[in-house]
Structure formats: structure tokens, C-alpha cells
């Protein structure tokens, strides 16, 4: 695997300049065909935005977004949930991990438009009021972080791991948490935290 | 990323027709490879047809084996009880690939179609015949540690990165395809191509054709099978070399054998020479060594990947030893 840690400051938002060419390329004939999908955005693409409803942590968000916006950027830049982090933007670090219908995924490699109708849970949605999710509490108790940048992804991933139920031993936890890189190397404490949360499961 | 029009398909026919009419349209499954490449402007579709709502994610037992729907997620296939019991090498190969998050997203169809991880292919500043036919191959004279040792051409020396496909090659799986002109079946070993003079074409799938399922034939001895992956770190890395093996053993004699390799060629590499040596031979280290040596005899390594030849040999022997020792 090629590690490509390029930080994109403007990320998905730097789109306006490419718009014109894209409109020019867009094949007009697709609109005329019968039994073909009428593409979104519809014939006038000048707006280049599509309506998308996202259900995040139980709340509905009606957005108008460019179809290129990833779920990660929609969460952070549009909805304002900045708990989910962008590390690599290429599926290689796990900082952007969120739960979609209870399953952990990398939010940088899916489009927001693809997640309409799904139940998305981010780090902000794990606690119940002031009561931390047991995984959050375990990370604090075991000091499962240093700088904290990877932590939201680690915790969401760990919650997904417990939902999946395939890890018992420390080695299995390590292997099934390998999708989350910690640059600070807090791995031993992360494993301890997850094992404690796992043992408290009913 | 170039702008595209997005639509979610709910009918297979409509999805197929829409993509066939537009040379620049693409299906999107999990998105884990396509979006990655679109962010780098390596792929620039102007229309994406989201096939995630198509009812193609079942894993079912058929008369002739097991059918895996093209939209089944890699993790669901890997943890499926029938797959684990009948085709452990496939489950192991899937679990050796990517990360749990990516496996939850990645589909079987997308995994088959994933593109090479050659760094020059990803880097639009570099020449690459696969990305831009005729521009040259930066890897041949460049850094080629991860590249092919079998079946490369003077146009491209890339490898196919999939783990799943190596197991499918060992199992003689069949890819089910729906196209604008009807359905067809493609044996897995014919599905991916060698680069030759047209490295831009990875597979024999035509534009607009939709993968609907993968069929695994009944293969009782596949219970005795193994997937070994050698990589730069213990997990979450592509294979330098991988081996899928299955042996049918009776009274210490091998009656049938399957050996396939990953990370060594532009397609999952079925080691036919090894299989020929194994069949009829005794289960012992000499047999396994002979099979491994026969496989690497035709290897043509590049400047930086000579280590792969010895690594391939040892990986074959180790995987066969594992299978040989299974009760
Ligand atoms: C960081 C990282 C590490 C990885 N490590 C590994 C690894 O170790 N081993 C490994 O094997 N893989 C690895 N992968 C690759 C991963 O397995 C693939 O990205 C994934 O399988 C692609 O599936 P998808 O559904 O996301 O495909 P998409 O990205 O949705 O699509 C990929 C291509 O397939 C086409 N396509 C999708 N579905 C169909 C269909 N039904 N019919 C026709 N065409 C279709 C699309 O048009 C597109 O061209 C890794 C990926 C990343 C990002
Ligand atoms: S090996 Fe193939 S993919 Fe890599 S640079 Fe050469 S032509 Fe491109
Ligand atoms: S930001 Fe690194 S995996 Fe998504
Ligand atoms: S705590 Fe700093 S990267 Fe993990």
C-alpha cells in the first residue's frame, strides 16, 4: 500500500473551476433516452448541487451539495460535526471512521449522496447526554490516546468492532483495528480500552 | 475531481443501458477504489450510476456450488458460514485484504475491477501506459519493487492488487455478467488480462457490462485450503506475494491441487506447472519444493523485485505445507 499523506486544505470544496468543462463534456443524449436514468443534477447543471437528506446521530439534515462532496466533508464542512477527522482522505488511516447502519466505514471514500436514507453515527452521537459511551469512558480510563487526532476514528471503529463480534484475544483486536493508524503509537492502551469495553458488554 | 452526474439505480437493465450509452459513465459500488482514483483525476467519469440499491448481495447455495452476489460486501462474504466452511481460502484472502472499514464497503464486483496500485499509475505527473496509452511506463526504468515477475510486457509491468481474486482463481470461479446484449459467463482465469500492448485494458469486461454474481463451483477438497499473504507490515498492506492453495489428499498422495498467486502478475496467476507436479505425488517437502521451483522457473523479475522470486518459492512451500498438515 502506498502511503499518501497529502493534506488537502481545500478538499472537496475547490470545485468551481472544474465546473465549466464538466458541463461541456456532459453528454446531452442521455436525457433523450428512454429507460435510462435521468442524471442528477438535472439538465441545468449550473447549480451543480443536489438535494441530499442525511440522518446523522438521529437528526435529519437537508443539504444542497455538489455530488462530489464526500460524506466526510459533508459532516465536517456542511453539518459542522468536526469530530470526525480527515487524515489521508484515501482510506489509508481510519481517522474518518463513522458508523453507517451500525457498520464502521471510511467516510472519506463514500459520497454524501450515496448515504441518503442511512443512519449515520459519528463520535458526537455516541454519548447519551452527559453519559459517555462505554467505549469513550474506557479510552479515557486507559489513556488510549496522546494527541487525540485519531481518537474519534479509533472509538467509532472500536464500537463497530464490538458490533461485529469477531475479536476476542488481544491479537484479534489488534488485527481488526488495523484500519486505524495512530501516529502517536497509543496502540497498547487502545487495545486495553477495547478489551475492557468488550468485557463489560452484556 | 471532475464533476459528474449521479444517479442511484434500482433496476439492473436501466443501470446497464445507462452506462452502455455513455462511454464516460461508470458504475459505483463501495467507491473505495473508484473515488480514490477520481480524487487523483486518474479516473474521470462524467456520470456515476450507484448500484448499491440493486438486489445483488445474496450469498446462496446452488445446485453446482455457491453463488455470491456482486454487491455482497467483502466482510459479509468473509464471515459467511458457508464460505468459511467450504472455501476457507476465500474467507482468509478477503480478511487479509484492506481493513475492516474498507471490507464493510467494498463489493465483490468492485474488488474484481479494482485497478493496480502501481505508484506511477496514481501519479498523473508521471508517464504511464495504463493511464495514458502511449505515454510510456515509468516503472520499467523506475522504482519497481512491487511490480510483476510473471507475464509482464515492455508496455506495463503492473500487478493486480486483489487478494480475493487469487482465491477465486484457485477455485475456478465463474463471473456472471449482464450486458446490453444479454448475459454471459466469464471464467475467472480469463477475466483479467495480461498487459501486452494494451495495458489500459485490465479485464475482458466490456463497457456497460455489469457483474451480477460470482459462482464458486463445488470443490469438496477446497475445505483443505489456505491463503498466505506476505507484505511489508503485518496488516493493512497490499501483497508483495500471496499464495492460495488447496490439496485433495488420499493416503498421502495428492489427487488434485490448486495453486494461485497474487502480487506477481497483471492478473491472478494460476501456477499450472506447480499443479502438474503436485498431482500424483507424495505429500512431502520434496514435492512441494519441486512445485515451487517449477513455478518460479519462468519468472522474469525487474531491477528491484528479484526478492519476489525467492519469496514466491518459499510462500508456495509454506502454504502447501500448511495444507498438507491439515487433518
Ligand atoms: C487503503 C486501501 C487498502 C487496500 N488494501 C487492499 C488489500 O490489501 N487487498 C485487496 O485485495 N484490496 C485492497 N484494497 C482495495 C479494495 O479491495 C478495493 O478498493 C475494493 O474491493 C473495491 O470495491 P468497491 O466496491 O469499493 O469498488 P468501487 O470503487 O465502487 O469500483 C471499482 C471499479 O469497479 C467497477 N464496478 C464496481 N462494481 C461493479 C459491477 N458490479 N460490475 C461492473 N463493474 C463494477 C466500478 O465502475 C469501478 O471502476 C485496498 C483499498 C484501499 C483504499
Ligand atoms: S507498470 Fe503499468 S501501471 Fe505502472 S507505470 Fe508502467 S504502465 Fe503504468
Ligand atoms: S481520512 Fe484517512 S481513511 Fe479516511
Ligand atoms: S493519539 Fe495521536 S494519532 Fe493517535
Which chain A residues are Cβ-neighbours of B104 within 8 angstroms?
103-105, 160
Nearest CB among B14, B49, B52 relative to A35 is that of B14
Phi (first) and psi of residue B6, to 5 degrees: -120, 135
Predicted TM-score of the model (pTM) = 0.93
Atom of ligand 4 nearest to the CA of A183: 3
Q: Would you say residue B288 lies in a domain?
A: yes
Q: Tell me the C-alpha distance between B2 and B220, whole Å.
A: 48
C-beta B192 within 6 A of ligand 2: no
Question: A106 to chain B, minimum CA–CA distance in Å?
Answer: 6
The CATH number assigned to the domain holding B312 equals: 3.30.390.50
pLDDT tens track for A62-91: 999 999 999 999 999 999 999 999 999 999
Distance, CA A85 to ligand 4 centroid (Å)?
A: 11
Comparing CA positions, the residue from A104, A88, A175 lying closest to residue B96 is: A175
* Structural element, H or E, at residue A193: helix A187-199
Query: Please, what is the Cα angle at B51 between A105 and B194, to 5 degrees?
Result: 90
Report pLDDT for A27: 37
- The answer to whether the CB atoms of A109 and B31 lie below 8 A apart is yes
- Check if the beta carbon of residue A30 is closer than 8 Å to that of residue B18: yes
Which chain B residues are Cβ-neighbours of A66 within 8 angstroms?
3
- Whether the per-residue pLDDT at A6 is higher than 90: the answer is no
Maximum C-alpha span of chain A: 61
Q: Would you say residue B242 lies in a domain?
A: yes
To test the contact with chain B by mutation, choose from A2, A13, A37, A172 the residue with the greatest count of B C-beta atoms within 10 A, namely: A37
Average pLDDT over every residue of A156-172: 98
* Bond from prior residue into B177 cis (ω within 30 degrees of 0): no
Distance, CA B304 to ligand 2 centroid (Å)?
A: 15
Give the contacts of B114 (CB within 8 A, at least 6 positions apart). Answer: B33, B161, B162
Q: Would you say residue B97 lies in a domain?
A: no
- Check if the beta carbon of residue A104 is closer than 8 Å to that of residue A133: no
- Prediction ipTM score: 0.97
Q: Would you say residue B96 lies in a domain?
A: no
pLDDT tens track for B282-314: 999 999 999 999 999 999 999 999 999 999 999
What is the total count of domains within chain B?
A: 1
The domain over range A50-201 is classified in CATH as 3.10.20.30: yes
Give the contacts of A128 (CB within 8 A, at least 6 positions apart). Answer: none
Structural domain that includes position B296: 221-324
To test the contact with chain A by mutation, choose from B2, B6, B26 the residue with the greatest count of A C-beta atoms within 10 A, namely: B6
Task: Give me the residue spans of the domains in chain A.
Answer: 50-201
C-beta B148 within 6 A of ligand 2: no
Report pLDDT for A33: 36
Q: Would you say residue B234 lies in a domain?
A: yes
Atom of ligand 2 nearest to the CA of B138: 5
Integer angstrom CA distances of residue A133 from A98, A139, A153, A173, B259: 15, 10, 14, 19, 47
Q: Using DSSP, how many helices (H) and how many strands (E) does chain B show?
A: 14, 12
pLDDT tens track for A120-159: 999 999 999 999 999 999 999 999 999 999 999 999 999 9
Amino acid at each position: 500500500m502506498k502511503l499518501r499523506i497529502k493534506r488537502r486544505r481545500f478538499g472537496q470544496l475547490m470545485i468551481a473551476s472544474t465546473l465549466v468543462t464538466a458541463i461541456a463534456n456532459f453528454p446531452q443524449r442521455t436525457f433523450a433516452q428512454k429507460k435510462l436514468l435521468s442524471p442528477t443534477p438535472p439538465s441545468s447543471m449550473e447549480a451543480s448541487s443536489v438535494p441530499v437528506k442525511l440522518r446523522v446521530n438521529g437528526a435529519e439534515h437537508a443539504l444542497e451539495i455538489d455530488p462530489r462532496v464526500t460524506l466526510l466533508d459533508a459532516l465536517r464542512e456542511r453539518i459542522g460535526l468536526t469530530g470526525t477527522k480527515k487524515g489521508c482522505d484515501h482510506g489509508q488511516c481510519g481517522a474518518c471512521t463513522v458508523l453507517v447502519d451500525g457498520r464502521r466505514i471510511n467516510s472519506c471514500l463514500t459520497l454524501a449522496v450515496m448515504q441518503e436514507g442511512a443512519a449515520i453515527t459519528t463520535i458526537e452521537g455516541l454519548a447519551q447526554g452527559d453519559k459517555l459511551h462505554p467505549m469513550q469512558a474506557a479510552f479515557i480510563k486507559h489513556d488510549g490516546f496522546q494527541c487525540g487526532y485519531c481518537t474519534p476514528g479509533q472509538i467509532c471503529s472500536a464500537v463497530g468492532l464490538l458490533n461485529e463480534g469477531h475479536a476476542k484475544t488481544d491479537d484479534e483486536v489488534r488485527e481488526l483495528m488495523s484500519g486505524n493508524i495512530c501516529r502517536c503509537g497509543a496502540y497498547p492502551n487502545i487495545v486495553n480500552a477495547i478489551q475492557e469495553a468488550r468485557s463489560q458488554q452484556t | 475531481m471532475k464533476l459528474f452526474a449521479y444517479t442511484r439505480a434500482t433496476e439492473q437493465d436501466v443501470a446497464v443501458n445507462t452506462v452502455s450509452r455513455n462511454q464516460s459513465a461508470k458504475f459505483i459500488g463501495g467507491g473505495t477504489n473508484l473515488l480514490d482514483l477520481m480524487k487523483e483525476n486518474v479516473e474521470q467519469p462524467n456520470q456515476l450510476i450507484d448500484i448499491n440499491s440493486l438486489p445483488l448481495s445474496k450469498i446462496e447455495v446452488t445446485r453446482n456450488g455457491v453463488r455470491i452476489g456482486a454487491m455482497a460486501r467483502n466482510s459479509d462474504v468473509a464471515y459467511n458460514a458457508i464460505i468459511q466452511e467450504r472455501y476457507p481460502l476465500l474467507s482468509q484472502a478477503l480478511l487479509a485484504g484492506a481493513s475492516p472499514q474498507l471490507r464493510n464497503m467494498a463489493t465483490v464486483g468492485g474488488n474484481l475491477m479494482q485497478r493496480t496500485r502501481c505508484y506511477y499509475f496514481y501519479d498523473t505527473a508521471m508517464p504511464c501506459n495504463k493511464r495514458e496509452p502511449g505515454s510510456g511506463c515509468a516503472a520499467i526504468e523506475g522504482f519497481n519493487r512491487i511490480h510483476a515477475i510473471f507475464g509482464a510486457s515492455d508496455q506495463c509491468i503492473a500487478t493486480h492488487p486483489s487478494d480475493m481474486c487469487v482465491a477465486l482463481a484457485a477455485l475456478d470461479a465463474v463471473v456472471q455478467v449482464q450486458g446490453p446484449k444479454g448475459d454471459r459467463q466469464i471464467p475467472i482465469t480469463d477475466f483479467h488480462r495480461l498487459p501486452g500492448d494494451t495495458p489500459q485494458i485490465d479485464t475482458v469486461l466490456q463497457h456497460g457490462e455489469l457483474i451480477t454474481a460470482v459462482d464458486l463451483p463445488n470443490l469438496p477438497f477446497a475445505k483443505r485450503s489456505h491463503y498466505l499473504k506476505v507484505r511489508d507490515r503485518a496488516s493493512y498492506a497490499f501483497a508483495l506475494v500471496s499464495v492460495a492453495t488447496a490439496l485433495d489428499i488420499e493416503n498421502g498422495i495428492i489427487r488434485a491441487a490448486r495453486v494461485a498467486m497474487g502480487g506477481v502478475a497483471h492478473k491472478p496467476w494460476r501456477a499450472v506447472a506447480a499443479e502438474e507436479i503436485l498431482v500424483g505425488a507424495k505429500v512431502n517437502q520434496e514435492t512441494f519444493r519441486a512445485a515451487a521451483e517449477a513455478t518460479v522457473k519462468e519468472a522474469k523479475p525487474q531491477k528491484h523485485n528479484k526478492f519476489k522470486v525467492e519469496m514466491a518459492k518459499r510462500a508456495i512451500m509454506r502454504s502447501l505445507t500448511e495444507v498438507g498438515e491439515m487433518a
